[in-house]
Each structure stands twice: as C-alpha cells, then as structure tokens.
Amino acid sequence: MKTNRAVRTPGGLSVRLDVRALVVVLLLLLAAFGASVLLIGTGDFPISAGDVVRTLLGGGDPGQDFIVNELRLPRVLVALLVGACLGLGGALFQAVSRNPLGSPDILGLGQGATAGALTVIVLFSGSANQVTAGALVGGLVTGLAIYLLAWKQGVHGYRLVLVGIGMSAILTAVNGYLLTVSDIVDAARSVVWMTGSLSGRDWEQVWPLLALCAVLVPLVLGNARALRMMEMGDDVAGALGVRVERVRALLMVSAVLLTATATAAAGPVSFVALTAPQLARRLTRSPGPNLLPSLCMGATLLVVADWSSQRLFGADQMPVGVVTGVVGGVYLLWLLVSERRAGRI
C-alpha cells in the first residue's frame, strides 16, 4: 500500500497525507469509543451497549440517565483525556530525548507528582482537591528542575535521561521517607494514589483536563513538522530553518504540563506514556514522532486497561495502574530484548 499521498487543490495548495497513519487514527478512535461504551456499561448495575448509546444521545430513562451521565461518563472521559495527555506527553519526551525509554515515568515526573501528593496526604491530611493541587505543583517543579539541570548549551537527549534517573532516585527517597513517617491509614491512601486510579472521578476533574487539551494539543500538533526535522539532528534542523532550542523548550513545557495535569487527575498511571508512542509507531510504520496516533493510542490503552481491571478484579477492586504496570513492564522487557537483538541500543 502506498502510504503517502499528495493532495493538490486547483489554487496551487498542496498537503501531504499519510494514509496509513490516518487509517490508524480512525481505527484507534473507533476502538476507544467502543471500549468507552463497554466501560460505561460495566459495573454493579450493568447496562447493555445499545442502552448506553441511547442514553448518551439523550434517550434513556431517568435511572439510566443518572448512572450513565452523572456517575460513569465523567470517569470514562477522565480516562480518555488522561490517556491522551500521557500518550502525547510520552511521544514528545521520547522524540526530544531521542530515546524510546525517555518517558516521564523514567525521568522522575511521576515521582515528583507523587512527592507533591504525598506531602499533602501525609503532612497535611489534605482533601482530594488539595492532593490534586499538590501533585500538579510537584510535577511542574520537577519538570522544570530536570530541564534546567540538563541544560548545558542546549538539552542533550541522554543527559536528560540520566539527570532524570538521578532526580527520580532522590524523589523516591523522599517518598519513602514520607511513607515511613505516616500512619498506616495515610500510607494505604498514599499507595493507592501512587498506583494511579480512576475511581470516583467526576465532572470536576474533566473540565481542567479538557481546557488544557484544547489549548495544548493544537499548539503541539502545529509544531510536529519542526519536531520531525529535529529528528535528523539539531544541525540539519537548524539549517532547514527550525529554531531548535525554542521549539524544544516549547514542546518540553507542553509535555510537562500535559503529564503533570494528567498525573494530578489520576495519579502516576505507569507505562501508558512509555508504551503508547511505541505501539503507535509500530502500527503506523512511520518514523516520525507520530503525535496524533500516540494521543489516540494512549486514550484507547487507558480505557481498555480500566475496563479489563473492572472485569478481572471486580468493580473498583484494583486501581487501573496495576494493570498498566504489569502489562507495561512485560512489554518493556520485550522491547529491550528485541531492540538489543536488532542492535539499536
């Protein structure tokens, strides 16, 4: 199949279409929608897929309407948005660090958000909203610190990864300390938060995520072309007219914002940011940063993972982070082995 096609208009404008990537995006959106309908229908009060769709379109009875639109829809929307943010943020980090393992999980952003959240939980016994704010602040400060510490006449990929590894070790120690000084109730609450969970999310969490995505997604996608040039190396990209450090700073800030907000909403759900871009890349078979496919893949992954955790362990028994952690860990090992066999790392 010929994957690239140029579309020309009579006025002399032309745009290059990557047909395969477009098909992948459409299929992923379909999958995400399907999984969302299934997820809304799953729970203590099961609803059939047809009823879910009818209720979503405004035609259900009052009981179903309450369950679907007030209780379950916000949770699914949070899952979709968090997954999308993590997928996009992960793709940006991996493209900027030029390393398939340069994801926010490994760079310590998750640990930073955790440190913020744990501080609020353990030292102040804060409410859920305060925990969210603490996580947001922790994630943003960590992202900024890593960027500044890795800066040395520009940010180099491996230096970013290694500084991130050091940062995450310090923060892990801080989190370990907070866990040892807390009482067992706060410690249990902390561990659930640290795993990443979607239970009890409502419209309050949806709106900030949606607003952030509405601003950042177009901004990031608008810079995708420059990011693609930068994959050829900073010098070549510079020669082609890309302002390398400016684009990189802009994209890093966007990636940190996306990841930190997503983490604040659902906790540090592991591995979505790491695996979504890799899976998207394997589906589109395109070498570029694959931003839009990664975004859709992240959303799909998180909803499917939440649905599987509900089906496997029962409603709200296991946080979604456990499923993504175990599946992602196995995937990561497989990735390491196959990359090694191919001699790429």
Partner 1 sequence: MLVDSPPEQRAESVPAPPTRRAIRSFGLLASAGILLLVALASIAIGAKDLSLAQVWHGLFQDSGTYSDVVVDDRISRTALGLLAGAALGLAGAVLQALTRNPLADPGLLGINAGASAAVVTAISFLGVTSMSGYIWFAFFGAAAVGALVWFLGGSRGATPVRLALAGTAISAALYGYLQAVMISDDAALGRMRFWTVGSLSAATGSTIKQVLPFLVLGMLLALALARPLNAMAMGDDTAKALGAHLNRTRALSMLAATVLCGAATAACGPIVFVGLMVPHVVRSFTGPDLRWILPYSAVLSPVLLLGADVIGRIVARPAEVQVGIITAIIGGPVFILLVRRRRTAQL
Binds partner 1 by CB under 8 A, chosen from 35, 78, 85, 106: 106
Is residue 345 near partner 1 by the rule CB under 8 A? yes
- Shortest distance (Å) from residue 332 CB to partner 1: 5
Burial (CB < 10 A; 0-12, 13-18, 19+), residue 181, is exposed
On whether the CB atoms of residues 20 and 286 are closer than 8 A, the answer is yes
- Shortest distance (Å) from residue 268 CB to partner 1: 10
Q: Which is nearer to partner 1, 222 or 329 (CB)?
A: 329
On whether the CB atoms of residues 131 and 268 are closer than 8 A, the answer is no
On whether the CB atoms of residues 106 and 161 are closer than 8 A, the answer is yes
Q: Which is nearer to partner 1, 8 or 152 (CB)?
A: 152
Please give the size of the binding site for partner 1, defined by CB under 8 A: 48
**How far apart are alpha carbons 38 and 32 in whole angstroms?**
10
Is residue 326 near partner 1 by the rule CB under 8 A? yes
**How far apart are alpha carbons 134 and 126 in whole angstroms?**
9
- Shortest distance (Å) from residue 252 CB to partner 1: 17
- Non-local (6+) Cβ contacts of 35 within 8 A are 300, 303, 304, 307
- Non-local (6+) Cβ contacts of 257 within 8 A are 140, 212, 216
Residues 141-170 that bind partner 1 (CB under 8 A): 149, 152, 156, 158-159, 162-163, 165-167, 169-170
On whether the CB atoms of residues 108 and 164 are closer than 8 A, the answer is yes
On whether the CB atoms of residues 198 and 71 are closer than 8 A, the answer is no
Binds partner 1 by CB under 8 A, chosen from 53, 133, 192, 253: 192
Binds partner 1 by CB under 8 A, chosen from 225, 282, 311, 340: 340
Binds partner 1 by CB under 8 A, chosen from 191, 214, 236, 312: 191
- Shortest distance (Å) from residue 335 CB to partner 1: 8
- Shortest distance (Å) from residue 149 CB to partner 1: 6
Burial (CB < 10 A; 0-12, 13-18, 19+), residue 23, is middle
Q: Rule CB under 8 A: which residues touch partner 1?
A: 101, 105-106, 149, 152, 156, 158-159, 162-163, 165-167, 169-170, 172-174, 176-177, 179-181, 184, 187-188, 191-192, 194-195, 270-271, 318-319, 321-322, 325-326, 328-330, 332-333, 335-337, 340, 345
